[in-house]
Amino acid sequence: MRKILGLLLLSTTLHAATPLRVVTVGGAVTETAFALGSGDVLVGVDTSSTFPEMARTLPQVGYQRALSAEGIASLRPDLVIVSANAGPPTALAHLAALKIPVLRLVAGDSLDGATTRVLQMGEALGREGEATKLVEKIASEVGARVPLAAHSPRVLFVMSLGQGSPMVAGRETAAAAMLELVGAQNAGNAIQGYKQFSREALVLLDPEIVVTTSRTLAANGGEANLAKLLPGLEITAAGRSGRLIVMDDLFLLGFGPRIGEAAQELATKLNEPSRRAER
Amino acid sequence: MTITARGLSIVRGGINVISDVRFSVSSGAFLVVLGRNGAGKSSLLHALSGELQPAGGEIAFDGVNIRQWSPVALAMRRSFLAQQTDCRLPFLAGEIVHLGAEAAGQRGVGARRLVASALEEAGVEHLAERAMWQLSGGEQQRVHWARILAQVNGKPQGHCLFLDEPISSLDIAHQHELLQKAANLARRGATIIAVLHDLNLASRYADQLMLLHETRLLALGPPSEVLTSARLREVFGITTHVMPHPIDGTPLILVGPTTFGTEIRTDSAQTALQTLC
Amino acid sequence: MTLAKGSAFCVFLAILSGAVALISLRTGAVPISWREMVGGGDSVGSMVFQTMRVPRLLLGFLCGGALGLCGAAMQGLFRNPLADPALVGVSGGAALGAVAAIVLGGPFLSHSIYILPAAAFFGALAAAILVHVIATRGVRVDVPTLLLAGIAINAFAGAGIGWMIYGATDSQLRDFTFWSLGSLAGAGWDATLGCLPFVVVAAGLLAFRARALNALALGESNAWHLGVSIEGVKQAVLAATAFAVGAVTAFTGTIGFIGLVAPHLVRLAVGADHRLVLPGSFIIGGCLLCAADVIARTARAPAEIPVGIVVASLGAPFFLGLLLREKRARA
């Protein structure tokens, strides 16, 4: 571990020359590389790198927590940028042993974390100017978001990885951090992490708005089925008003370069009046 | 080999199956244990062979307590043929007999020679390369008999064979063949202790019979003394006629003509039956 | 078993493992020249060869071998060709240890690559000891009770894993899922050398038990009458399985099937004699895992498929095919 850290320091100081073959691991990492204008130096990405469209055409190095050192090495990168989640540690240690510089970005689902990562990557990719501009853009977007109406609404974030049993986002989740960023109350704050919720507890929380990801909706066959998967929802405020917000996973929860846009869009949608009331 | 039991009692599943049995058999003896189902015959054999820990009393092989024999040393001096032996892995008959040769301490060429002679003696050399699961029950039993013969290692003197209903899967010819071979081994100095159900076979091949009844040793002695109509009625509850075999004079047991007398039911059972009705 | 058949089988095993080793060392995402393989040096190719390919081949062989060997020993002990180290709770215990390390170990996990394997290993060992204690009456280990205790321990481990998963974060959950799919991706010299002593101890414990396991095929009573100290065999098989499967699972996650299929293949070829089945299952198991790993790391290169998936998806149809062929042969 210490070896990797040492190498990290080395890599950031010694790597003055702009890297020409870069592997990025993590959806937001890849997104940032493109946002900084370094998309053309990418030679490989992980499975979570789904944005922009260009990223999907690059060679896949696998799931970000199950990387293969030899697979990455075969792409002959001169820099590997990984999210704080990347692993396993052995694979990263092997890359270090092959003298391939590895930049591990800081962790943190927060505005601070997001901007620090942009700056880290800007330095590593020789795009400091672009990084500073991007950070400014994010700050202005977050600042320019529509302020929430009168009170901060109770928002329930639900997500499911596959089919069935959606999980509610509790404390210390990216969803909670995003809700906090736009000034909404996370209805699931009583729990920690993503958990399944009982029907009665759901009724008790009485969320005003439900937020979910487009992947969750797609996996469960649309809005109509989601209501079935969350029985009890129909007698909550959100169920009665029909206020459901759907956003892209990576966009909403990635804490990448589009965090400002995501905050703007979420805030705007939270402010929309209920659809049922409109009718 | 002389086997001595003193004050032997055996408990299985919390039930006394053998109480306070004492006897001694020495080299050259062919002892057959008789008794009703559940009389503890099998348990007695397993205890005498050292496998089953008796609840009380002690067993000695050649005057040495059986607990002081190591399993390996014991295997060179005593062998055990069960009524039926399962083999669920695809062993060949020859490999099964090889186990007996190894137990006798033979390895390599010596073991192979011993296996060949044991297979021949048991009349199953043609089955050597067949898998056990391909053989009939009787053929399997003869292969196991060959395994026991290999374990005897051609040295019946000082060896004890325990045979627990060894012939129940064999046809009548092979029944006699196996018992005859066992008797020959006894003549050459082996000690044979067997459980049989056929009284006439027991009477023909054994030189001593042991009759177990209600956990106790009822009688022990030569067939002509042990096999009496009165005793057979007491133990098995059947009506028999015992007469000398017309050729060799050993006791011949004929059952009937009325098989069961009223004696089959003990008084208490009868009372119980009446209460029920 | 005839001598000729035995020696022919040994020659076959030698050729097979040589071929698998060569293919495994030659294939991978990074092209490596013969000169880089033999000559060393510090080019990327030779570095990859020295720090990844070689230890990975050895780890694969050790792990596959240990799984095959312990599978064969377990089948001998339970007198059932379907027995498997997982039966006595070892894999369940290892999985519980691993998930506990992933979920509770959080910040410590990144300090050392040994924390996860150590937790999995002690989980396996604890399960084996517990099963052993439950199944022991006086000095005897009751084999049917062993089986039932194993089922109970597996259920208990399942419950523990459930609790851990319930409290896990998204990424911990993913980590555990990938761990349970089994992979040699973590292979390096440290994992290989970490695994080695346990596999050596297990092989040593089982090395002179072949005759006893043969006798045990006739049941405990007959084995005892053939001079086998059956309690010694049971303890040895249990200890060897806990050690080897515990260590293997710790370093590679759960890889099923090899413990079942390797001994089966050997028995098909040379019969049930454990003097051939034990070493044969080790070598065939090692070759199977290494061959599956070649596919796991090349099929979707530069990404890598968990080897457990490859083993199961190739092994299961193959095994079914064998069963059907045997069925026809017996009919």
Residue C51: predicted pLDDT: 87
Residue C318: predicted pLDDT: 81
Q: Which of A68, A74, A89 sits opposite C113 (nearest CB)?
A: A89
Residues in chain B within 8 Å Cβ distance of C226:
75, 99-100, 102-103, 151
Residue A14: predicted pLDDT: 47
Residue B171: predicted pLDDT: 96
B277, pLDDT greater than 60: no
Q: Note whether A157 and A175 are within 8 A (CB).
A: yes
Minimum mean pLDDT range among A217-231, B229-243, C8-22, C221-235? A217-231
Q: Is C30 on the interface with A (CB under 8 A)?
A: yes
Q: Note whether C284 and C262 are within 8 A (CB).
A: yes
C273/chain B closest Cα distance in angstroms: 7
Taking residues B81-87, report their average pLDDT. Answer: 92
Whether the link from the prior residue into C31 is cis, omega within 30° of 0, is no
Q: Is A61 on the interface with C (CB under 8 A)?
A: yes
pTM of the full structure:
0.85
CB-side exposure of B214: number of CA atoms within 13 Å? 4
Q: Note whether A101 and A76 are within 8 A (CB).
A: no
How crowded is residue A14: how many other Cβ atoms within 10 Å of its Cβ? Answer: 10
If residue B216 lies in a helix (H) or strand (E), which one and from where to where?
A: strand B216-221
Confidence class for position B13, pLDDT limits 50, 70, 90: confident
B258, pLDDT greater than 80: no
Residue B1: predicted pLDDT: 86
A in contact with C (at least 3 C-beta pairs within 8 A): yes
Taking residues B96-112, report their average pLDDT. Answer: 94
Residue A163: predicted pLDDT: 60
C111, pLDDT greater than 80: no
Backbone angles phi, psi at A244, to 5 degrees: -125, 125
Q: Note whether B232 and B246 are within 8 A (CB).
A: no
Residue A230: predicted pLDDT: 77
Rounded to whole angstroms, how far apart are CA atoms A181 and A178?
Answer: 5
Taking residues C154-166, report their average pLDDT. Answer: 91
B254/chain C closest Cα distance in angstroms: 36
Q: Is A165 on the interface with C (CB under 8 A)?
A: no
Q: Which of C221, C229, C271 sits opposite B92 (nearest CB)?
A: C271
Residue from C30, C114, C163 whose CB has the most chain A CBs within 10 Å, to mutate = C30
Taking residues C237-262, report their average pLDDT. Answer: 89
Residue B55: predicted pLDDT: 94
Q: Is C281 on the interface with B (CB under 8 A)?
A: no
Q: Note whether B71 and C224 are within 8 A (CB).
A: yes
Write down which chains contact chain B via at least 3 CB pairs under 8 A: C
Q: Is C221 on the interface with A (CB under 8 A)?
A: no
Minimal Cα distance from B105: which residue of C? C227
A in contact with B (at least 3 C-beta pairs within 8 A): no
Write down which chains contact chain C via at least 3 CB pairs under 8 A: A, B
C294, pLDDT greater than 80: yes
Q: Note whether A260 and A142 are within 8 A (CB).
A: yes
Which string of b and e fits B195-204 if b means at least 16 CB within 10 Å? bbebbbbbbb
Q: Note whether C151 and C90 are within 8 A (CB).
A: no
Percent of chain C clearing pLDDT 90 (strictly above)? 43
Strands B64-65 and B56-61 come out as: antiparallel
Work out the angle at residue C240's Cα, subtended by the Cα atoms of residues C236 and C244, and round it to the nearest 5 degrees: 180
Tell me the per-residue pLDDT of C179-203, one tens digit each, with 9 for 90 and over.
888 888 878 888 899 899 999 999 9
C9/chain B closest Cα distance in angstroms: 17
Confidence class for position B260, pLDDT limits 50, 70, 90: low
Q: Where do we find the tokens 């003990």?
A: B266
Q: Which of C112, C174, C303 sits opposite A71 (nearest CB)?
A: C303
Q: Is C218 on the interface with B (CB under 8 A)?
A: yes
Residues in chain B within 8 Å Cβ distance of C79:
86, 88-89
Tell me the per-residue pLDDT of C33-58, one tens digit each, with 9 for 90 and over.
888 888 777 788 888 898 889 999 99
Confidence class for position C83, pLDDT limits 50, 70, 90: confident
Taking residues C159-174, report their average pLDDT. Answer: 84
Provide block-wise average pLDDT over 10 residues at a time, chain A (279 residues). Answer: 48 64 95 95 94 92 89 93 88 90 93 94 94 94 75 86 74 91 90 81 87 85 74 82 89 92 90 58
Burial of C331 (0-12, 13-18, 19+ CB in 10 A): exposed
Residues in chain C within 8 Å Cβ distance of A72:
302
Q: Which of C178, C190, C300 sits opposite A65 (nearest CB)?
A: C178
Residue C291: predicted pLDDT: 95
CB-side exposure of C250: number of CA atoms within 13 Å? 30
Confidence class for position B262, pLDDT limits 50, 70, 90: very low
Tell me the per-residue pLDDT of B136-150, one tens digit each, with 9 for 90 and over.
999 999 999 999 999
Concatenating the DSSP letter of every residue in C147-165 gives: HHHHHHHHHHHHHHHHHHH
Residues in chain C within 8 Å Cβ distance of B166:
none
Contact B96 C227 (CB under 8 A): no
Tell me the per-residue pLDDT of C222-233, one tens digit each, with 9 for 90 and over.
999 999 998 899
Residue C289: predicted pLDDT: 96
Taking residues C265-290, report their average pLDDT. Answer: 94
Q: Where do we find the tokens 């199956």?
A: B17
B7/chain C closest Cα distance in angstroms: 23
Residue from B89, B95, B97 whose CB has the most chain C CBs within 10 Å, to mutate = B89
Minimal Cα distance from B131: which residue of C? C271
B269, pLDDT greater than 50: no
Residue from C25, C36, C52, C173 whose CB has the most chain A CBs within 10 Å, to mutate = C52
Contact C272 B100 (CB under 8 A): no
Minimal Cα distance from A46: which residue of C? C303
Residues in chain C within 8 Å Cβ distance of B51:
221, 224-225
- The interface pTM score, or ipTM, of the predicted complex is 0.89
Contact C215 B76 (CB under 8 A): no
Contact A90 C113 (CB under 8 A): yes
Confidence class for position C81, pLDDT limits 50, 70, 90: confident
Percent of chain B clearing pLDDT 90 (strictly above)? 83
Rounded to whole angstroms, how far apart are CA atoms B247 and A242?
Answer: 106
B132, pLDDT greater than 60: yes
Contact B79 C219 (CB under 8 A): no
Rounded to whole angstroms, how far apart are CA atoms C153 and B232?
Answer: 53
Rg (CA), chain B: 20
Q: Is A5 on the interface with C (CB under 8 A)?
A: no
Residues in chain B within 8 Å Cβ distance of C228:
71
* E-strand stretches of C47-204: 136-137, 140-141
Minimal Cα distance from C30: which residue of A? A74
Contact C218 B96 (CB under 8 A): yes
Task: Identify which has the larger pLDDT, C184 or B114.
Answer: B114
Confidence class for position B249, pLDDT limits 50, 70, 90: confident
Contact C219 B85 (CB under 8 A): yes
Any residues with CB less than 8 A from the CB of C243 and at least 6 apart, and which? C125, C198, C201, C202, C205
Contact A74 C301 (CB under 8 A): yes
Q: Note whether C21 and C291 are within 8 A (CB).
A: no
Rounded to whole angstroms, how far apart are CA atoms B197 and B179?
Answer: 13
Backbone angles phi, psi at B33, to 5 degrees: -95, 130
Residue A279: predicted pLDDT: 34
Specify which residues B78 forms β-bridges with: B160
Q: Is C143 on the interface with B (CB under 8 A)?
A: no
Rounded to whole angstroms, how far apart are CA atoms B185 and B79?
Answer: 13
